[in-house]
Amino acid sequence: MRGFDEADANFVRVLEDSIDTLITNNVIRHTDLPPAAQKKLMLRKGLRSRISGALDFMGTDERLL
């Protein structure tokens, strides 16, 4: 069962990235999506942003090395 969970999580990420690409290339607009999908995408983007910010706690200042 764990394999399916991981595969599903990876597939969701692929879908998110695909939707982002379509929006970036002006193929679709964010507002073309149903309101529930818009909310879910924005929630996941916010969570990903916070996680990546937390992982970059040392910043990019090379003087630290």
Q: How far apart are CA 57 and CA 36, in angstroms?
A: 32
Tokens found for residue 53? 């910010």
pLDDT of residue 37: 95
The whole-angstrom distance between residue 48's C-alpha and the CA centroid of its chain comes to 6
13-18: long-range contacts (C-beta < 8 A, 24 or more apart)? 16/41, 16/44, 16/45
Q: What is the pLDDT of residues 1-59, one digit of tens each?
A: 778 888 998 999 999 999 999 999 999 999 999 999 999 999 998 988 888 777 666 56
Tokens found for residue 3? 């394999």
What radius of gyration do the chain's Cα atoms show?
A: 16
Check residue 51 and report its DSSP letter.
H
